[in-house]
Structure 1
Amino acid sequence: MNQESAAIEYKCITPPRNHCVYTSCYCEENVWKLCEYIKNHSTCSLDEVYAVFISNERKMIPIWKQKSSRGDEPVIWVGTIQCNLFMKLRVIPADVYLKKFASDRSHMKDSDGNWRMPPPEYSCLETPESKMNLDDFICMDPRVGFGEIYSLLDFVNHFGVK
């Protein structure tokens, strides 16, 4: 399949941006809400949808063109300047993500318990087993958490247009 035929077959499975449930700086929950939308509205088979966490052993990945960046500077979602560019990707099937991801949002509070950024208006995401397991999703150790760990090259080879 070439890129032209892939573009012809592409079907939008998410709502328009202005209808998305979105809270700045809560990426993992925004993705969870997109997966929930796809499941509830049956816009495609949930077997075709994945949540992807990008990280590495040092939990430092620069990401360019973010709203919180300044100009062409990257945002590094860790409080440091040094970065390790060897990214890995944890790919989790959407149905597993919906069933297993939990966040009590404690990572978004400072040492005094104040919010670094305002939280979403809906309740925290939790499962019967957990109220907080975000670290299991960010961790790039294949023995921890859910889904599969890929290098960038392996990810492109597995999920890229062939």
Structure 2
Amino acid sequence: MTRPRHSLRSRSCSSDGGYVDFGGEENVYMLCKKLSALGLADPVVLDLFVVFISNDHRMTPLWHQKASKSLDGLVIWDYHVLCIQKKGEQGFAHCLTWDLDSSLPFPLGLDKYVSEAIRPMFPLTSTYRRLFRVIHAPIFLNYFASNRAHMKDPLGNWVSPPPSYEPIIAQDGCQNNLQEYIGMHAVDVVTDIKALSEGLYSNKFGVLIDEAMLETFFSFVLWQ
């Protein structure tokens, strides 16, 4: 398994209906706004959660990815970003996964997405074990910032045309904190559900869980 370079990221929907290469974080940022604008999500995105996937080695396998050249759609991302929507209240909830880079039906139930794209039963060495940073969408929309430096080559040239809109600046004035979302270490994973639930609605960089907790975690998540 090999890790694709940024230039191999598939093309995803941007705010103006165009596409942005290897800008998954901005694509999901705009997706949250678009789902709200179209009435497909809560007006202030209370039902949406942004999820970054990576690990200590920044080598995370996902299947059924459009960028893949293999029949099973396997790609080893340095990091990946998607959106999970919780429909309904606790105990009667259904979670939908919005992965703009997936070839699977869109959106897809979280249980089905986990089975098909994450494949938790597939044996992986520690190098490839995935971690998940979950951020409540209202917090993400307020605090995420990117100056798009990662979209340029070492000479400062764009690897691919950037989005047509201005770079995203956080409400606190921060111009770039992408690495804070991507950086993940297994030793920082939290397993206490109460601590996770509290952190989810107070930490601007969300909470860090491992894949064994993903579905369980969302079964406890409540709208705030």
Q: Give SS of 2:20's match.
A: coil
Q: Does 1:35 align with 2:94?
A: no
How many pairs align?
A: 142
1:98 counterpart (133, 137, 141): 141
Determine which structure has the larger strand proportion and give its number. Answer: 2
Poorly superposed stretches of 4+, deviation over 4 Å: 17-21, 141-145
Q: Percent identity?
A: 34
Counting only pairs closer than 5 Å after superposition, residues 23-102 of structure 1 correspond to structure 2 as: 23-45=20-42, 46-72=45-71, 74-78=74-78, 84-102=127-145
CA apart distance, 1:29: 0.4
C-alpha deviations, 1:76-131, integer Å up to 9, x for none? 234xxx98221110000000110011111101111111112221111111113311
The answer as to 2:115 corresponding to 1:118 is no
Deviation track 1:12-60 (CA, whole Å, cap 9, x = no partner) reads: xxxxx79855413111101000112234445332221100000111121
In angstroms, what is the RMSD of aligned CA positions? 2.9
The aligned residue for residue 96 of structure 2 is none
Question: TM-score, normalised to structure 1's length?
Answer: 0.74
Gaps of 5+ in 1: 1-16
Instruction: Provide the TM-score with structure 2 as the length reference.
Output: 0.55
Contact 1:60 1:83 survives alignment (8 Å): no
Q: Which runs of 5+ in 2 are unaligned?
A: 1-12, 79-124, 190-202
Using the alignment, how far apart are the partners of 1:83 and 1:22 within structure 2? 34
Higher relative contact order (CA 8 A, sep 6+): 1
